[in-house]
A and B are shown apart, each in its own frame.
Chain A
Amino acid sequence: METVHAAAGSRRCGAGRRIVTHAWLEVGVTGAAVAALVVLVVLPIASLLLGSLTASDGLGLEHFHRALSSSLYLRPLVNSLILGSWTGLVSLLIGLPIAWLVARTDIRAKGFIRFTATMGYLTPPFLTSIAFANLFGPNAGIVNVFVRDMLGLPWLAFDIFSMSGMVLVTTLHAFPFVYLLAVGALQSIDASLEESAQILGAGRLRTALTITLPLAAPAILGGTLIAFVSAIALFGSQAIIGLPARIFTLPTRIYALFQYPPQYGLASALSLILVTITVAALYLQRAYLARRAYVTLGGQGARAHLVPLGHWRWPAHGFVLLLFLVVVAMPFATLLAVSLSKPWGLAFWQHLTLANYRFVLFEYDVTRRAIANGLVLAALAATLAVLIGAIIARIVQRTDIPGRWVLDYVSLVPLGLPGIVMAVAVLQFWLATPFPLYGTLAILLLAYVARYVPLGVRAADVSLRQIDPSLEQSARTLGASWLVTMREIALPLMRPGLFAGWLLVFVPAIQELSASILLFSSGSITLAVAVFNLYESGLSEQACALAIVNMAIIGAAVAVAHWISRGGLADRMQAVPQ
């Protein structure tokens, strides 16, 4: 007995020593993560707040007062709300039916619907806007030219430069949020909940209205709110569609405030108003979902009744095909056609050329630099976001460090910040420091990492959850140090998940426009900014060629991600306001 005690005692001592060194390492790593979050997120937001309150004589609400009293700024606020609401509503009207088709009917085009929704989500809305402007521009849009000049039916023309045009373009990007959340909810409702209603005498419609719909409602509403948030946060489509129509929204108004002598205070105040809206919507979504997430209650919800569509499959197929045409075929065909034409117009096919590609890829140094910058920035941002995300997710899930929930919470804050707001915040903060970062790639990188840290945390969180702590504990029990356990057990197990997370950051980062538009200089111009600038300077054909290059990069990244996660990408798609 004596010896056993002694052995146990000495082992405990050994473990105690190890815990001490482990704690030092952990404190160091945790400290680095906290410092990164403070510099990336907390301080910029603080200076945004401070900037909005800095009045001519000390602190005051001067900027807010101006922002909320002049129609110059109130009108954009109202426009943003109108745009968000309509987009949310139309996204619901498109996303819910196709979610139902996929989850609950025997329609055979399920892969096709999933593809269409994924493409809608992946296509940068400013590219869709450029495509639609080339089709439905009031004067030169070829569809309008066709119906006006060839058919002689001017009343058939559709002016894309309008609020309805903006809603249309935004919806094509936003409806997948409703679809994804709704399809998940509909698939996970346990069939027995509906069967119970049926055997008690309720017909199919009554069961759908009293059981299925209320159970899926939180998810559906959540998806609609995310569609709303992402709609009002997008800068590119609002600039490309809205500005020619003189419809200002909050992001484009904030952008305009930087054109002349920049008005930081007012821009900060407007940014905070925009953030208030997005955060309120996201909070509503989270609170509502958390309180009423019944869907998980059922558990084994594998069984689901598939409704036979019968002859209804024809209108269903028609709807899906129309959606595909508008979401995928029209924008891509247009971008491709414009990029290949000498002058874009009704007779573009008579003068096909690769000159635009030669121009953007080889001849024009600005676009060449933009491509290189874009790739480097996206790769670096993805690496850093995933690295920081992995550390934070680990701390939150696997340690008992007090206050770790703050870390979790702060890391999610950027989800509520539209890109342009993040840019205003980062700009304000770094201009106030002695570091001359303005106009460099570094400030863009800082803004990107801050924006996409939530994605990194989420990806690491998901892959950590799939690794039972006992796997690591058994390594520790066998005497492995924290470092060895990380190297031999934790990291190899997390690697596929982290790589998927890396691509999930890379894809939005390569098409980032909302923040870059305020932060770039001619030396640090990025891919998306170059597309935007080419288009704005009237070089539509060249802009489209660069857009196709952009899409090719995204396509390659997604193909790799798809190949790695075998179709799991859609599950990991997360709502990030642009």
Chain B
Amino acid sequence: MTGLAIAGLTKRYGGARQAAAVDGLDLAIGANRFVTLLGPSGCGKTTTLRLIAGYLMPDAGTIRAGDRILSEPGRVISPEFRNMGMVFQNYAVWPHKTVFENVVFGLTVRRLPTDKARERVERMLDLVHLSGLGGRLPGELSGGQQQRVALARSLVVEPGILLLDEPVSNLDARLRERMRAELKDLQRRTGVTFVYVTHDQAEALALSDEIAVLHGGRLQQVGSPEEVYRRPANRIVADFMGLLSIVPARVLDAAAGEVELEGGGRIGGIGGIAARMGDIVDLGIRPEDVRLRPPDGRGIAAEVVDRVYLGNVADVHLALADGRRLRAQIHPLDPAPVGARVEIEIDVRHLSVFTRDGEGGAP
């Protein structure tokens, strides 16, 4: 249906001296895709969303849909003419209108005949599991139900693009998981392009066809969830996508992928190290790639300094020979008491190698 092409998008709040909230963003959002803008608070993701919606005017750059320019400096097509939908973090369900009145609003604005509008609203309420609640006021609904009203209200007008601003962050953990599944399902069934903003990497991984990681107003990486997680473009992305321990190492042989940890111990078989022999690089090691075994002198020596029971896994904090910390996740039944001396083995398939000039590399 509709895709978007964002080019050079820049937005500053306050004067031109102010740091840009969004800085030279280039992003193509394919039609019928589920695209997530991911980043910590203040990274510019919500600003980007509001620029796409047309609530803000860019200071530079354009937003296009096909060959139609939606936004450029000095000329922004008003939100009401963009055929988009938006779901806000606080749902923004109108408290003075019933569920039915909320959902039918966009259809009334579009002058749909009453009986046809009623039929579409009923169908949409059914789709979001709210049938029979059309006469309720939002004050009588739970948070999750209000969330569904907001979704139904946006989807019933069949928008080309649906924008979602942290829509499940106000729900409790259980409900959040269920809404996630429903959102994914809704997107598949309606075929509407979803642009989803969140700071929760697990949510982004679970939902998206494509993730755009933002930081400091700049786009860091775009890719499928697996690409972004397994091959982070730089340290910022790697750090944001889940737990990561940084361990410095010296390159012994770039071609063979062999490095030596600063505190002793070698790792071999790392692919694609963009550094020369003798250079110091940082290894980004994910806890699930660290395995523990009893010491036999062949692995890297470490000591268990802390162990946190998390139910499905145990989070183990290790100290290497030089005192550097490394985290590992092991099966909760595996023995590794605090104080135990162990050796570790690292699965290099997920290993990220960052050179000291800030650029990243992956196997």
Q: What is A's interface to B at a CB cutoff of 8 Å?
A: 190, 192-193, 195-203, 206, 210-211, 214-215, 292, 294, 297-300
Contacts and interface: CB of A to CB of B under 8 A. Distances in A.
Given A190-B92, A201-B80, 8 more contacts: A193-B92, A193-B94, A195-B92, A198-B79, A200-B109, A201-B81, A202-B80, A203-B80
A300 B88 CA distance: 12
Interface in B73-94: 78-82, 84-86, 88, 90, 92, 94
A200 B95 contact: no
B157 A200 contact: yes
Contact of B53 (A199, A201, A297): A199
B82 A199 contact: yes
Given A206-B109, A297-B139, A199 B92 contact: no
Contacts, number: 68
B191 interface: no
Contact of B96 (A195, A201, A292, A299): A292
A196 B150 CA distance: 9
A300 B79 contact: no
Contacts of B105: 197, 200, 202, 210
Interface in B281-309: none
Given A190-B90, A206-B109, A195 B79 contact: yes
B218 interface: no
Contact of B90 (A203, A294, A300): A300
A201 B157 contact: yes
Complex A-B, nearest 5 residue pairs according to Cβ-Cβ distance, in ascending order? A200-B106, A192-B92, A294-B95, A192-B88, A201-B109
Nearest to B55: A195
Nearest to B139: A297
Contacts of A292: 96
Contacts of B96: 214-215, 292, 294
A200 B153 contact: yes
B90 A192 contact: yes
Contacts of B90: 190, 192, 298-300
B162 to A, nearest CB: 10
Contacts of B174: none
B153 A195 contact: no
Contacts of A202: 80, 105, 109
Contacts of B189: none
Contacts of A299: 90
Nearest to A303: B55
Contacts of A192: 88, 90, 92
Contacts of A196: 86, 88, 92, 94, 150, 153
A386 B136 CA distance: 44
A202 B110 CA distance: 9
A210 B94 CA distance: 10
Contacts of A203: 80
Contacts of B138: 297
B109 A297 contact: no
Interface string B99-110: 000000110011
A84 B109 CA distance: 39
Interface string B142-169: 0000000010011001000000000000
24 contacts: A192-B90, A195-B53, A195-B86, A196-B86, A197-B105, A198-B78, A198-B79, A199-B79, A199-B82, A199-B85, A200-B80, A200-B106, A200-B157, A201-B106, A201-B110, A202-B105, A203-B80, A206-B109, A210-B105, A214-B96, A292-B96, A297-B139, A298-B90, A300-B90
B95 A215 contact: yes
A124 to B, nearest CB: 38
A210 B81 CA distance: 18
A192 B163 CA distance: 13
B95 to A, nearest CB: 4
Contacts of B88: 192, 195-196
